[in-house]
A and B are shown apart, each in its own frame.
Chain A
Amino acid sequence: MTASSQRAVAGLLRVATAGSVDDGKSTLLGRLLHDAKGVLADQLAAVAAASERRGGPDAAPDLSLLTDGLRAEREQGITIDVAYRYVATARRTFVLADTPGHVEYTRNMVTGASTADVALVLVDVRHGITAQSRRHAAIAALLRVPQVVLVVNKMDLVGWDRSAYEHVAAEFRTWSGRLGIRGVVAVPVSALQGDNVVAPSELAPWYAGPTLLEHLETVEAGPERTRSLRFPVQYVVRAPEQGYRGYAGRVAGGAVRPGDPVVVLPSGARTAVAAVETYDGPLESAEEGRSVVLRLADDVDVARGDLLAPAADPPALTRAFEATVCWLADEPLGPRRYLLKHTARTTRAVVEVTGVLDVTTAALGPASGLSLNDLGRVRLRTAEAVALDDYAANRRTGAFILIDEASGATVAAGMAGPLPWA
C-alpha cells in the first residue's frame, strides 16, 4: 500500500482483528488488554467467576470473556458481533475491534476493517494458512487497511519451532503480495501464555522483531498527507443576525487552509476558503479527520451533501460507476433500487451484479445476485451525480453504503473503483 513516511502519526490507532474462534483471537485481545493493563480488577474478577461457572473451580480465567459481551455470545462461547475495547499505553491510545472469524460473520469483519488503521490476521501455527486466513487477508486488502500484521499464534504448541513460524509467514506473504498488500509484519506469539504479545518471549531467541504491542505502538498508519482536499459539507451553520454563514464538516482528505481555491460539487461553482474556524479559534490548517467550519470568500450556494475540493484535482462527478460490495443483509441483492449514502449525501441507486468473488482464491466468478456475506462486483447508476473518488485513492470519499428503503437496513458496504489485485 503506501510508504509509511507519507503517513501522519496517529494519536489514536484503530486495530481490527481477524481470525477464527479456534485461532485464539479473543484470547489474544484479552491478553493484550490484560498485559497492557487495560483490564480492571472487577472485570477480571467477573471473568474469573464466569470461567469457574463454565469450567469448574480450577478453570483458568478465560480471557476471551473480556470481549464477548452479549449473553448469546457467552452462552455459545463465540463472538457474534464486533466488540470494541480500549487500551492506552504511555505511547498510544488504541481502539481494538474484535470481529468474528467465520465466513458467516464476514460482514462483521468488513465492519471492523472499514475504520481500521491496522488489521491483525491471526493464524494457528499448527494449521498454517487456511482458506479462512486467505479470506481475512483479502478483506483487509479490499477494505485497504493501511497496515496488515500476521500474528502467528500457539507457538507454545509447536515448541517455538522457528521453521514452522517461517513457513507460515512465507506462505502468508506470498498470498498477501498477490492481493496487493505490502510490508506485512509477522510476529510469533502465544496468546495463551502471553509470549511476544506485550512482553518479549524468552522462548524464541531467534526472533529479533518487536512484540505485538511494541509494533502497534510505533507503526505509522495515520492519514496520508499527500492527498488532495476533500471536504463534505455536513451542516450549514447560519446566524443571520450576525451575518454568519459557515459550512461545517470533517476533512475527508488532505488539508484545508485559508486562501485555498475550491470548487463546490456538484454545482461546479468556484470560490476560495476565507477561514477555517472552530469554537476554539481559527486554524492555519486543518488536516484529514478534523471537524471544522469553513467560511467561503463568495456567496455561493452550498448545502449539506455538497463536497468542496481543489479545482485542480476534484473527484469524479459521476452517475454510473463500478464498485466492490460486501452484501450484509439476509435478503439477497435483487434487481431493484436502493438508497446510496456517500459522505453526507444520500441518493437512489440501481445496482447490477457483475460478478462474485471467491476471496479464498481472489478469483472473480459470474453471478447475477449476491447473498449475505458475499463479496462481489457491481455496476451502479445513481439518481443524482456523486462526487466520487476511487476507494484506493481515498477511503472516506470512495466508500458508500446501500440502504433498503423499506426496512431502513444497511444492506451493503461499497468501495468504488477496481479490485486491489485487478
Chain B
Amino acid sequence: MSAPVQTPPPAPLARTAHLDHLESEAIHILREVAGEFERPALLFSGGKDSIVLSHLAVKAFWPCPVPFPLLHVDTGHNFPEVLAFRDRWAERLGVRLLVAEVEESIARGRVADRPGGSRNPLQTVTLLDAIAEHRFDAVFGGARRDEEKARAKERVFSLRDEFGQWDPRRQRPELWDLYNGRHRPGEHMRVFPLSNWTELDVWASIARERIDVPEIYFAHRRAVFRRDGMWLADSPHLPRRPGEQLELRLVRYRTVGDVTCTGAVESTAATVEEVLAETAATRVTERGATRADDRAGEAAMEDRKREGYF
C-alpha cells in the first residue's frame, strides 16, 4: 500500500446545480455554528465524509483559516494509511489536529479493552471525555441521513445532554434554515452539515472538487478473510478464528472506520470516476456492505447514538 495520492481528473459537470445547493447549505450551517458557539470542533475520522466536511469548512471561512480544530478519536486500530493521510490533510488545510486516544482511556481505566473485540463501542467514552476536557460546545460530524434509518431522523443541530446522550423523542423541531443553538452549560450540540448528502453526492463532490482521499478507497490487492459476509483485513488487531483463511483479493473500502469492524468490498474501481460509477450502480448501502457495528440489530445505530456515539 504505497500507492501515490490520487489526483483525480476534473469531473463532468453533471448534477452540478444540485451539488452547489448542498454545498451552500453545508457552508451556511458551518458559518452558523462559528457565529453562535464559543468552542466548536470538527470530528475527523479520515473517512470521506469528514474529509469533504473539512474541505467545506475551508471554503466557508476562506480566505481566513478554519476557526476550529479537527478532533480525531483514534481507536488504536486504525488503518495506517488513514492515519498518515490524516496528518498530511490537517497540515495541508492549516487546521489544528487534536487526537483523543482510546488507548489512553483504557490506560486511565475509563474503559476496558475486550480481548479480540472491537473497540468501536469504547470510542464513545473517549469522545465524550475529549469534548468535556476541551469544553467543546459544538461538534461537527460528517454523518448523513441516507446512511442509516436512525440517522434519517436526526436534526442538523442535535442537542446532547450533559451525559452526551441523544433523546430521539425530545428533539427540537427544525424549521426553515433557522437553527436553534441554545444549550445549557455541560450540554453540547452535534451538528451535521452533510445531513442531506448521499454517498453518491460525497463522491461527486470529491470528483468535482478534486479532493484527496486515503488510497484505501480505491481498488488495491489486500490479504483479506471472510467473516459475516464481509472481507476483513489481515491485521494484528484482528485475530483470525479457526477456518478463516487469508486470500489476496482486489478490494476497496466504502467506509473507513476501525480495522476490526470495517469490511472491504471486491472492486476494480481505481479512480474517482470509477468509484462514482460503481456507487451509482450499487445495490447495497455502504453501511450494510461494510459495517459490522450496524449489524447488531434493527436499532443498533439508534442505541449507540443515544449513548453519545458519533
Q: Among B20, B34, B35, B175, which residue has its beta carbon within 8 angstroms of that of A413?
A: B175
Q: Cβ of B62: which chain A residues have Cβ within 8 Å of it?
A: 237, 278-279, 293
Q: Which residues of B contact A88 (CB under 8 A)?
A: 15, 18, 198, 200
Q: Is B143 an interface residue (CB 8 A)?
A: no
Q: B150 to chain A: which residues have CB within 8 Å?
A: 69-70
**Per-residue CB proximity of B276-293 to A under 8 Å, as 1/0?**
000000111100110000
Question: B34-78 vs A: 1/0 string, CB under 8 Å?
Answer: 110000000000000000000000111111100000000000000
Q: Which residue from chain B places its CB closest to the CB of A303 in the assembled complex?
A: B35
**Smallest beta-carbon distance B182→chain A, Å:** 3
| A397-422 vs B, Cβ < 8 Å mask (1 yes, 0 no) | 00111010100111001000000000
Q: B178-219 interface mask toward A, CB cutoff 8 Å, 1 = contact, 0 = none? A: 101011100000000001101011000000000000000000
B177 x A396 contact (CB < 8 A): yes
Q: Is A115 an interface residue (CB 8 A)?
A: yes
Tell me the bound Cα distance from A95 to B194 in angstroms: 13
> B284 and A396: CB pair below 8 A?
no
Distance in Å: Cβ of A107 to nearest Cβ of chain B: 5
Considering the chains assembled together, what is the distance between the CA atoms of A208 and B176 in angstroms? 35
Contacting residues of chain A (212-266) with chain B, CB-CB under 8 angstroms: 234-235, 237-239, 242, 244, 246, 248-250
- Count contacts on B: residues with CB < 8 A to the other chain: 61
Contact with A along B141-155 (1 / 0, CB 8 A): 000011011111100
A84→B59 contact, CB < 8 A: no
- Residues A408 and B184 in contact, CB atoms below 8 Å apart: yes
Q: Which chain B residue has the least Cβ–Cβ distance from A81?
A: B153
- Digitize B137-171: 1 where CB-to-A-CB distance is under 8 Å, 0 elsewhere: 00000000110111111000001000000001101
Which single member of B59, B169, B182 contacts A408 (CB below 8 Å)? Answer: B182
Q: Report the stretch among A36-44, A124-132, A353-361 that lies at the interface.
A: A36-44
Contacts of B63 in A (CB 8 A): 237, 239, 242, 244, 246
Partner of A11, one of B17, B59, B151, B173: B17
Interface size class of A (residues with CB under 8 A): 35 or more
| Interface contact A40-B302, CB-CB below 8 Å | no
Taking a contact as CB atoms under 8 Å apart, the answer to whether A399 and B175 are in contact is yes
CB distance from A157 to the nearest CB of B (A): 29
Within 8 A of B (CB), among A73-96: 74, 80-86, 88, 92-93, 95
Check if A328 sits within 8 Å of B282, measured CB to CB.
Answer: no
Complex Cα–Cα for A327 and B117 (A)? 48
Q: Is the CB of B152 within 8 A of A85?
A: yes
CA A69 to CA B302, docked complex, whole Å: 9
Distance in Å: Cβ of A337 to nearest Cβ of chain B:
14
Interface residues of A in 24-72 (CB under 8 A from B): 40-43, 46, 50, 66-72
Interface residues of B in 1-44 (CB under 8 A from A): 15-25, 27-28, 31-32, 34-35
Partner of A70, one of B15, B31, B64, B302: B302
Bound-state CA distance A235–B198 (Å) is 27
* A10 CB, min distance to chain B CBs, angstroms: 8
Residue of A nearest to B144 (CB): A86
Given A115-B177, A278-B59, also A72-B169 (CB < 8 A): yes
A-side residues, CB < 8 A to B, are 9-12, 40-43, 46, 50, 66-72, 74, 80-86, 88, 92-93, 95, 107-108, 110-111, 114-115, 234-235, 237-239, 242, 244, 246, 248-250, 278-280, 289-291, 293, 304, 328, 339, 341-344, 395-396, 399-401, 403, 405, 408-410, 413
5 contacts between A and B (CB under 8 A): A69-B150, A92-B18, A344-B32, A395-B176, A409-B172
Which 4 residue pairs are nearest across A and B when measured between Cβ atoms? A11-B17, A42-B288, A69-B149, A408-B182
